[in-house]
A = this chain, B = another copy of it.
Amino acid sequence: MQNEHAAETTGPNRDEPPGPRFDVVAVGNALVDVLARATDSELDQLGLAKGTMALVDRDRAEAIYATMGETTEASGGSAANTVAGIASLGGRAAFVGRVADDPLGMAFTHDIRAVGVAFDPAPALPGTGESGTGHCLVLVTEDAERTMATHLGVSAELGPADLQRDHLSSAQVVYLEGYLWEQPVAKSGMREAMEIAHAADASVALTLSDPFCVRAHREEFLEIVHGELELLFANEDEIKLLFGVDGFDAAVEEVGETGVLAVLTRGAQGSVVVDASGPIAVPAAPVGRVVDTTGAGDLFAAGFLYGITNGLDPTSSARLGGVCAAEIISHVGARPESDLRALAVAAGLFD
């Protein structure tokens, strides 16, 4: 029956290539960003540590919002930003996350679908409406650094029931947010997501997300790195914390011994790709004025993941990651404003 149906299909799937339906399926928190400019002293007064993300409850989120200047709202979420970037590059991507039936949830759903990412969330459970769709208050300081306070809302309940099994088993890479380890239900969901991925011969990728995540879940992350993982994304601070070492070189050596393909980002210093043949440093892409670093890591991951699922070697994939990160830090917000595919072509990475 299924074959019969497939033979009859005349829609956009007809010319689909053989193999997995998606380059990347990402699981993460579905968040709408609420962005405003702030000063260092305002961050101090709010007790927020610059450059990091803090989870806050609704009351605290409202108190922070009340102190914020004029805001703009745009869909965000770390892994969601990554798949939006992959779609902008021309990749096939899906997102797994949880929104409420409210205006923020509608905006998130509209935006991610509008860029061509498959997003088919499970219907909101009755009684969860009060929590609302999650949002992330992003305070951008003069130095372009972003400091975040996230109220997860219904995303706090993301769990096994939300996993889109047909999506997860139709991917080249299943990409997971380290942030999810903060949430007990999500954490057990991630175990299952990794199993589904491996059963379908998909690779599993993880981003360590934030130093606070690594501090809180170091043992579990190490276990995953040594067991389940094919691909690891981390920045310099995160990888040093993971292996409990002081120097970046020592961290590179440690991750090299795990056998995982690791991509380590170092801001303006570019990135280092570590695979079986050793570490390779890749310079950052040129960028004009840095306006807002929100989404830099997310879009680096987008470029890298699109690259390795579309025929580029790891070094070229890291270069593509750098091109995508450079675009995102040149403007306010964490979703691309320019055509990333055109930028990749201009950088000589694709014809």
Contacts and interface: CB of A to CB of B under 8 A. Distances in A.
A72 B72 contact: yes
Interface in A332-347: 332-333, 335, 337
A19 interface: no
Contact of A74 (B65, B73, B335): B73
Interface stretch (A107-115, A146-154, A242-250, A251-259): A107-115
B335 A70 contact: yes
B115 A70 contact: yes
Contacts of A71: 74-75, 107, 110-111, 114
Nearest to A69: B114
B114 A72 contact: no
A70 B65 contact: no
Instruction: Say which size band chain A's interface belongs to.
Output: 20 to 34
A81 to B, nearest CB: 11
Interface string A101-140: 0111001001110110000000000000000000000000
A84 interface: yes
22 contacts: A37-B337, A65-B110, A66-B110, A68-B110, A68-B114, A70-B75, A70-B112, A70-B114, A70-B115, A70-B335, A71-B110, A71-B111, A72-B72, A72-B73, A72-B74, A72-B333, A73-B107, A102-B103, A103-B103, A331-B331, A331-B332, A332-B337
